Amino acid sequence: MPRATSWAFLSPWVLAFGLFGLYPFAFSLFASFTDYSPVRAEGARFVGLANYARALHDPAFWSALGNTAFFVVGTIPLTTALALALALAVQPAFRGRSLFRTGFFLPSVVSVVVLSLVFKGLYAPNGSLNGLLAALHLPTPAWLLDPDTALPAIMAMDVWSASGYYMVIFLAGLEAIPRDLYDAARLEGATARDQLVHITLPLLRPTLLFVLVVNTIRSLQIFAEVFVMTRGGPLHRTTTVVYYLYEQAFYRFDLGYASALAYLLFVLTLALAWLQMRAVGRPAEASA
Amino acid sequence: MKRPARWVAAALAAVLSCAPARKPAEEIVFWQFWPAEVVTPLLEEFEREHPGVKVRMEQLTWQSGQEKIVAAVAAGTVPDLCEIGSTWMPRLLAGGRLADWSAGVADLKPALRGWELCTVGDAIYGVPWVLGTRALFFNKTLFARARLDSTRPPETWVDLQRAAAAIQRLGHGVHGCGVQAGERYVLSKKFLPFAWGNGGEILSEDLKHAVFDSPANREALEFYLGLRRVGMIAQQDALDREFKEGRLGLAISGAWLFRQIAKEAPALRYGVALVPRPANERGAHASWAGGEVLVSFNDAKRKQLALELARFLVRPENALALAGAAKSVQPATVGADTSAYYRAHPLEAVFVRQFETARFTPNHPVWGDMEAAIEDEVEQALYDRKSAARAVEDAQARLEELAGKK
C-alpha cells in the first residue's frame, strides 16, 4: 500500500490525537513556565521554574501527594490480588460462569460519577452500610465525614469497581497460557499450588506488568470519585494531586501553577512506570 | 453570456443582497445556566421587542459551565452576554476583562439589590439578575412533638439552641439542628451568618486588612460549635435529605429545598424563618447572600445589544418569571416580596425578606482563597483539632496574608 494511503487511513486518529492530545500536552508544558491565568486581561508572563519551585514548597501539594500515594499503595496490591483471584475463580468452565464474569465486570462499565453517587448514599450517616452495621451491633463510623475513614472508604469503592476490569485482562492472560504445560505438570504429579506458582504466575508476568502499570497510572490520576463524594474534605484528607490541581486551575484560575503540578505528576508517573517495568518486566523465560 | 453582462448580473446580485429587506438577523450569543423552558419564552419576548435581533442561547451546566466560561475567556471566544455566579465574580472583576456598564445601568441602581456583586470602586461591571440566600427551615411536626410552639420559630441564638435541644431529646434518629460538615463553598455560608449577625467582620472596609479575629467572631464560632451537641454534622445533601424525611428539626438551607420538598416530601409540615440573631435587641438576622450577575466582556462583539438584553431580563416581571419557576433564587428586584407571587408563597417570601439583613462577601480578588481559609479553620474546630479561639486567630493570620495578594 502506498505511503499516502496509509497516512490517509491514519489521518483521523493523527488529527484527533494532535488536536486533543499533543496540542494541550505541549500547551500545558508551555503554560507551566508562565503565570498564565485565563481571566486576566494582560497576557501570560514567563516565570521560568517559579511554578515548580512553588510546588516543592507548597505544603498543600505535598499533602495531596501523600494522599495520592496512600491511595495507590493501598489499592493497587488489593485490586491486583482480587482481580487475579477472581480471574482464577471464573476461568474454569462451570455452570453460570459467564454470569459471574459479567457480574464482576459490570462495575467498570458504569460511569464513575454514578458509582460515586451510589456509594455516597451507601456511606451516608443513615445510609445502608451503617444500617447493616447497626443491625449487627457494630460501630457506625461517619465514613466520608470522618477524616480518618474518608479516603479508605473511597479506596474500598475503587478496589470493588476496578477489580472486575483487571480480572478480564488476567483472564485473557490465562487463556494465552498453553494447556499442555498444565497437562505435562499433572503427569509429573504437580499439585494445583505447584501449577499456580511455577506455571501460571511466571507466564502471567507480562499481564501482571500491564495491570500494574495501567492501574498505577489510573490511580495516580484519581479525581472524579473525590469530586463527587468529598470535594477533597474532610480536613483535606481526600485531596488528591489531580483534585488539587483542578482546584488551582478552575477555582483559582492559576493555570500556570496547575500545569506545573500536572507535569510533576507526569514525571512521577513516568518514573513509577519505569520502576515497575524494571522490577516486574523481565522476560518470563528468565525466571522459569 | 458575454463578459459585461456577467458583471452586471454580479453587481445586481451584490446590491440586492445588501438591500435592507434582506438584512440578515443580528445574532446575540447568551450563555446561562437555567432550564431552556424557563428562559426561552423570555428570549422570544425580547426578540419580538427587537425585530431583526436573534438570541442564540446556550444552556451551561452547573457542573462544567464554569470551566467552559474560563476556557472561552482564555480563547477570546466569549459570548455577548453571560450569567456568572457570585462565587466567580471577584476573580473576573480583578481580571479586567468584563465590560464596564457603569453608564448603561446607572438608572437601575435604586430598583435592584446585589450591586455589591459586580462593583469595584465606582465602576459597575454587570447587573444583578437573581439572588440567593440562606434561611432557617424548621419542621413543625417535630416542634409539636417536642412541645414547642410551631408558630414561633427561634428568634435568637438561645431560642435556636433550646429548640434544637428539645428536638434532639426525642431520639430515635431525630436530630435537633443540622450542623454543616466541612464542605467547600458551603461551610462558610452556614457559619458566616452567625459571625455577621454578631457584628463580626472579615475584612476592613478598604479590603486591605483582615479583621476576623474579634470577640464577636470567636463568640459566633463557639456558638456554632455548641450546636453539634444538639444536632448532627453532615454535608449539605445529607442534611437536606434528613430534613425532607422529617428527622431534622432545624436547618439553615437554601431555597432549592422548596422544589425538593414539593416533589419528594409534599406532606412535610414546615416553616421558614430568618436566621436567628444573637439576642433580642442585639445583633442582626444576618445571612449569606450571593447571586447571578449578567455580564459582558470587552472582547464581546455586541456589547450594546447585550446590555439591552440584560436590562430586559432584570425587569421585575422577567426576573420573577425565572425565580418563580426555579424557586432556588429570588429576583434582585427591591420590594419583590410585595408582588402577587410572593404574597401567594409566604415561605418563599421569607427569603426575599432575608435579603434585607443578608450580607454579600467582599469583592477581594482572592476571596475564593479567603473563603477556603475560613472554611479550613472552622472545619478544624468542628473536628476538635483546634479551639474556636485558636481557629479564629489562625484564620486571621491567613486572611491577613491573603489580603495583601492581588
Helix (H) or strand (E) holding B13, with range, is helix B3-18
Cell 477555582 identifies what position?
A251
The 8-class DSSP code of residue A34 comes to: B
What are the CA-CA distances from residue B5 to residues A281, B2, B10, B14, B16 (Å)?
A: 78, 5, 9, 14, 16
- Judged by CB atoms closer than 8 Å, whether chains meet at B66 and A147 is answered as no
CATH number of domain containing B75: 3.40.190.10
Question: Would you state the pLDDT for residue B183?
Answer: 82
| B185 → chain A, closest CA residue | A231
Which helix H or strand E contains A269, and what residues bound it?
helix A255-280
pLDDT at B136: 98
Same domain? B104 vs B65: yes
DSSP state of B297: B
Number of H helices, E strands in chain A: 16, 0
- Residues B53 and B101 both lie in one domain: yes
**B146, B231: one domain:** yes
- Asked, for residue B11, whether it belongs to a domain, the answer is no
Q: Between chains, do A125 and B232 touch, taking CB under 8 Å as contact?
A: yes
- Cis geometry, peptide bond prior to residue A234 (ω within 30 degrees of 0): yes
B368 belongs to a structural domain? yes
Identity (one letter) of the amino acid at A236?
A: H
**B76 has a chain A CB within 8 A of its CB:** no
Nearest to residue B294, comparing CAs of B52, B94, B128?
Answer: B128
**CA-nearest residue of chain B to A147?**
B383
Query: Do B126 and B181 fall within a single domain?
Result: no
| B82 and B102 co-located in one domain | yes
Helices (H) and strands (E) in chain B, counts: 17, 13
Is the residue at A35 inside a domain? no
Domain that holds residue B341: 21-132+290-360
Same-domain check for residues B193 and B52: no
List of chain A residues whose C-beta atoms are within 8 Å of the C-beta of residue B380: 235
Contacts of A41 in chain B (CB under 8 A): 95-97, 298
Measure B347 CA to nearest chain A CA, in Å: 28
Asked if the Cβ–Cβ distance from B380 to A235 is below 8 Å, we say yes
CA angle B399, B404, B406 (to 5 degrees): 110
* Minimal-distance CA residue of chain A relative to B379: A235
- B235 contacts A252? CB cut-off 8 A: no
Residues B158 and B248 occupy one common structural domain? yes
Q: State whether B73 and B143 are in the same domain.
A: no
Residue B1 forms part of a structural domain: no
Total CB pairs under 8 A between chain A and B: 70
The distance between the two most distant Cα atoms of chain B, rounded to a whole number of Å, is 100
Those residues whose C-beta lies under 8 Å from the C-beta of residue B259, and which sit 6 or more positions away, are B326, B327, B328
Q: Is there a contact between B148 and B363 (Cβ–Cβ < 8 Å)?
A: no
CA neighbours within 13 Å on the CB side: how many for A9?
5
pLDDT at B380: 94
What's the domain count of chain B?
A: 2
Q: What is the DSSP letter of B118?
A: G
- Tell me, yes or no, whether B243 and B384 share the same domain: yes
From the list A231, A253, A255, the residue facing B184 with the nearest CB is A231
* Cα gap B6→B20, rounded to integer Å: 24
Stated pTM of the model: 0.81
State whether ipTM is beyond 0.95: no
Cβ of A235 within 8 Å of Cβ of B73? The answer is no
Mean pLDDT in order along chain A per 10 residues (288 residues): 85 90 92 86 86 94 96 96 95 89 92 94 88 91 90 96 95 92 90 90 92 94 93 90 92 90 95 90 51
Predicted local distance difference test score (pLDDT) of residue A251: 81
**Is residue B390, in this structure, part of any structural domain at all?**
yes
User: Is residue B280 domain-shared with residue B158, that is, in the same domain?
Assistant: yes
Contact B241 A250 (CB under 8 A): no
- Cβ contacts of B182 on chain A, cutoff 8 Å: 233-235
Polymer length of chain B: 406
The CATH number for A233's domain is 1.10.3720.10
Domain total of chain A: 1
Which residue bears the cell 438570541?
B55
Per the CB < 8 Å rule, is A40 touching B383? no
What is d(CA A85, CA A69) in angstroms, rounded to the nearest whole number? 24
Domain containing A240 equals 46-287
Q: Are residues B280 and B299 in the same domain?
A: no
pLDDT values of chain B reduced to their tens digit, one per residue, 406 residues: 445 555 555 555 554 454 444 456 799 999 999 999 999 999 999 999 999 999 999 999 887 888 888 888 888 899 999 999 998 899 889 888 999 999 999 999 999 999 999 999 899 999 999 999 999 999 999 999 999 999 999 999 999 999 999 999 999 889 999 999 888 889 999 999 999 999 999 999 999 999 999 999 999 999 999 999 999 998 898 899 999 999 999 999 999 999 999 999 999 999 999 999 999 989 999 999 999 999 999 999 999 999 999 999 999 999 999 999 999 999 999 999 999 999 999 999 999 999 999 999 999 988 989 999 999 999 999 999 999 999 999 999 999 999 987 6
B108 and B225 share one domain? no
Residue B376 touches chain A, beta carbons under 8 Å: yes
Is A28 within a domain? no
Burial class (CB in 10 A: 0-12, 13-18, 19+), A113: middle
Residue B199, pLDDT score = 96
Beta bridge partners of B210: B203
pLDDT of residue B24: 62
